Amino acid sequence: MIYQKSYDELRQVCKQIISHRQKLAKPKIEGMIAKHIDVNTSNEDLLAHLIAESFLKRIDRQLLESKNIYIQQFDIPQITLFYSMAEAVPFVFAGNYLANQYLIKRMDGLKYAAVLDIGIGKGRQMEKLLRMLMDGNSTLENISIIGVDPVEENLNSARAALEEIRADLPFPLNFYRVCSLIEDFKDQDFDYVREIGAHNILINSTFTFHHTSHPLYDVETRTRLLKKLAELKPLILILAEPNSNHDTEELSKRFHYSWQHFGNLFAVIDESSIDVSHKFTIKEKFFGREIRDIFGVSDHFRCERHELYDSWLLRLHKAGFKPYNFTDLKINLPDYCDYNVSEGIVRLDYNNTTIAAVLAFIL
């Protein structure tokens, strides 16, 4: 167990909160909140501080109604921090690269393809996809990218990024924008995608689907959404997701998985070559916001709801998908990371623990 002493103390706090003994929990929580945190704060103390700070909101009954943290206004936008975080956490670029390889493989032999990119952000993955197609022996004569994102500014940036390389492409590029969360799609939105796709739709969702919201104790909404995506008859559906269980209303279980997951991520960040102030910013701002959402926001509204890859596999099976049997993949990870490739899934590991997984499924 990572940082056993602090883990045990916070696990005890969880039990006290669950059993409504907040008066006992509060002094312990306050004792774990640091008066000052900076680049010299240890990973254990920083992680304990972030979780304890969020627990204090719970017992003081100051839980917030939260928007998706990617559309909230911060001093530094979360999407900007996401790209910064990717420099220190190699699983992000590796996940995007794997997803692009799956997409290109399924485009083989097609003259037209339409990629539905759920959570396109600033379009960097799609830009890399197009560059990979330029460098290969693509049969495409035309491609459409349908960017879905709830932030207008992101869609503008994505359009600009793709426009920059349009002239270099050996085929026409069409960019369609949908300013929405995927879970808010109406039938007309799916019809719009279906019309653009012309039976050659490929669906990509990298590090996005765990943000889809659902009511408390609801275990079916995401499966129903995957079934709606299956109705588009995609040539492939790709999910790249963190491997942890924060989609539970059981506080002790959520804490256990968070402690493991973020503890390992903090260690991964320390392995990177970026400067220490950058490392601290990623831990405290990017992952700190996720931790505060997981514990310090009303459970009715929190959006950071990661699931274990086993859960995604079950959902995909229920939605009618089956694993895509393609394993001839290139995987770029530093020596301190590892991976495991099997039919339909690539597990990306650190410290003998799967941190993220890329799932590629077909109908």
- Say if 305 falls within a structural domain: no
Whole-number Å distance between alpha carbons of 159 and 174 = 10
Same domain? 95 vs 82: no
- Say if 272 falls within a structural domain: yes
| Domain membership of residue 39 as a residue range | 4-86+249-296
Same domain? 24 vs 156: no
The strand pairing partners of 348, in sequence order, are: 339, 356
87 contacts 334 by C-beta, under 8 angstroms: no
What phi and psi values does residue 15 have, to the nearest 5 degrees? -60, -40
Give the CATH number, domain containing residue 145: 3.40.50.150
Q: What is the DSSP string of 143-209?
A: EEEEEEES-HHHHHHHHHHHHHHHTT-SS-EEEEEEES-GGG--HHHHHHHHHHHTT-EEEEEES-G
Same domain? 9 vs 158: no
Same domain? 198 vs 108: yes
In this predicted structure, what is the pLDDT of residue 77?
Answer: 82
| Interval 97-141: pLDDT, tens | 999 999 999 999 999 999 999 999 999 999 999 999 998 889 999
In this predicted structure, what is the pLDDT of residue 2?
Answer: 81
Residue numbers in the chain where pLDDT is lower than 50: 65
Same domain? 256 vs 126: no
Same domain? 234 vs 130: yes
- Say if 314 falls within a structural domain: no
Same domain? 30 vs 115: no
In this predicted structure, what is the pLDDT of residue 299?
Answer: 85
User: Crossing angle for the helix pair 4-18 and 22-32, nearest 10 degrees?
Assistant: 150
Same domain? 119 vs 225: yes
- Domain finish residue from 261, 280, 296: 296
- Say if 315 falls within a structural domain: no
